[in-house]
Amino acid sequence: MEQTESTEQEQTVGATALTPADRCDVCGAQAFIRVVLASGDLVFCAHHGMANQEKLKPIAILWQDETDKIN
């Protein structure tokens, strides 16, 4: 099941914005995606977020995508 863009935007309204201090849990690059799971949060760079999207999005409580901030 794929969420619409407006649904994703509505979900991120109450979420804390990612900062340059937030680092990808896989490689240490700047994080632009936060995934909130029942067991805790994960943060990813755009590359690793997209690589794990198919597995994680169906079980995510929140998928916070801030890749639009990439220059």
All structural domains of the chain with their residue ranges: 19-69
Give the model's pLDDT for residue 20: 96
Question: pTM score, two decimals?
Answer: 0.80
* Average pLDDT, integer, range 35-62: 98
The sign one gets for the Cα dihedral 17, 61, 41, 35 is negative
**Cβ(35)–Cβ(60) below 8 Å:** yes
The pLDDT tens digits for 6-30 are 444 445 556 899 999 999 999 999 9
Q: How far is CA 23 from CA 1, 6, 7, 27, 63, in A?
A: 28, 26, 25, 8, 16
Which residues have CB under 8 Å from 47's CB, separation 6+? 27, 29
The pLDDT tens digits for 52-69 are 999 999 999 999 999 999
